[in-house]
Amino acid sequence: MAGTYARQARQTQQTIHAGGEWREAVSGATREILDPADATPLAVVAEGDEKDTDLAVAAARQAFDGGQGDWPRTPVAERAALLRRVADLLVRDREQLGLLESRDAGKTLEEGRVDIDCVADAFSYFADLVAGEAPGRVVDAGSPDIHSVVVHEPVGVCALITPWNYPLLQASWKIAPALAAGNTFVVKPSEITPLTTIALIDLLVEAGLPTGVANIVTGPGHSVGARLAEHPDVDLVSFTGGLISGTKVAQAAAPGVKKVALELGGKNPNVVFADACATDEAFDTAVDQALNAAFIHSGQVCSAGGRLIIEESVRDRFVAELARRAGRIRLGRGTETGVECGPLVSEQQRAKVEAYVESALAEGAVLRSGGRRPEPAPERPESGYFYEPTVLDRCHREMKVVREEVFGPVLTVETFRTEDEAVALANDTEYGLAGAVWTADAGRARRVAGRLRHGTVWINDFHPYLPQAEWGGFGKSGVGRELGPAGLAEYRETKHVYQNLAPKPVRWFAG
Mean pLDDT of 489-509: 93
Q: Are 348 and 164 in contact (CB under 8 A)?
A: no
Report how far residue 196's alpha carbon sits from residue 186's, in angstroms, rounded to the nearest whole number: 15
Report how far residue 356's alpha carbon sits from residue 405's, in angstroms, rounded to the nearest whole number: 10
Query: Which pLDDT does position 508 carry in this prediction?
Result: 83
Per the prediction, the chain carries an average pLDDT of 95
Report how far residue 247's alpha carbon sits from residue 228's, in angstroms, rounded to the nearest whole number: 14
Q: Which DSSP symbol is given to 156?
A: -
pTM for the model = 0.96
User: Which CATH code is given to the segment(s) 269-459?
Assistant: 3.40.309.10
391 φ, ψ to 5°?
-115, 120
Mean pLDDT of 477-502: 97
- Amino acid 39 reads A
Mean pLDDT of 342-354: 98
As annotated, the active-site residues are 263
Query: Which pLDDT does position 68 carry in this prediction?
Result: 59
Q: Is the pLDDT of residue 372 over 70?
A: yes
Indicate the domain borders of the chain: 3-264, 269-459
Query: Which pLDDT does position 510 carry in this prediction?
Result: 74
Query: Which pLDDT does position 58 carry in this prediction?
Result: 97
Q: What distances in angstroms separate CA 363 from CA 138, 407, 426, one per listed residue?
A: 61, 19, 20
Report how far residue 357's alpha carbon sits from residue 363's, in angstroms, rounded to the nearest whole number: 10
Query: Which pLDDT does position 9 carry in this prediction?
Result: 38
Query: Which pLDDT does position 137 carry in this prediction?
Result: 95
91 backbone φψ class: left, alpha, beta (φ>0; ψ -120 to 50) = alpha
In this prediction, residue 67 has a pLDDT band, given cuts at 50, 70 and 90, of: low
DSSP bridge partners of 493: 153
Q: For domain 3-264, which CATH number applies: 3.30.750.210, 1.10.3720.10, 3.40.605.10, 3.30.70.2190? A: 3.40.605.10
Q: What percent of the chain has pLDDT over 70?
A: 97
CA quadruple 225, 230, 235, 241: dihedral sign: positive
Q: Could you list the beta-strand ranges (E) of 431-503.
A: 434-438, 456-459, 478-479, 492-500
In this prediction, residue 6 has a pLDDT band, given cuts at 50, 70 and 90, of: very low
Q: Is the pLDDT of residue 93 over 60?
A: yes
Q: What distances in angstroms separate CA 411 from CA 122, 254, 267, 322, one per listed residue?
A: 30, 37, 11, 10
pLDDT tens digits, 155-187: 999 999 999 999 999 999 999 999 999 999 999
In this prediction, residue 374 has a pLDDT band, given cuts at 50, 70 and 90, of: very high
Query: Which pLDDT does position 10 carry in this prediction?
Result: 33
Query: Which pLDDT does position 478 carry in this prediction?
Result: 96
Mean pLDDT of 376-390: 97
Mean pLDDT of 31-49: 96
Print burial letters for 367-384: b (CB count within 10 Å at least 16), e (below 16). bbbbbebbeeeebbbeeb
Report how far residue 186's alpha carbon sits from residue 237's, in angstroms, rounded to the nearest whole number: 10
Which of 62-71, 253-262, 284-293 has the lowest average pLDDT? 62-71
Query: Which pLDDT does position 83 carry in this prediction?
Result: 98
Report how far residue 226's alpha carbon sits from residue 49's, in angstroms, rounded to the nearest whole number: 10
Mean pLDDT of 14-26: 95
Q: Is the pLDDT of residue 12 over 70?
A: no
Q: Could you list the beta-strand ranges (E) of 9-100.
A: 16-18, 21-23, 30-35, 40-46
Q: Is the pLDDT of residue 18 over 70?
A: yes
Mean pLDDT of 104-118: 97
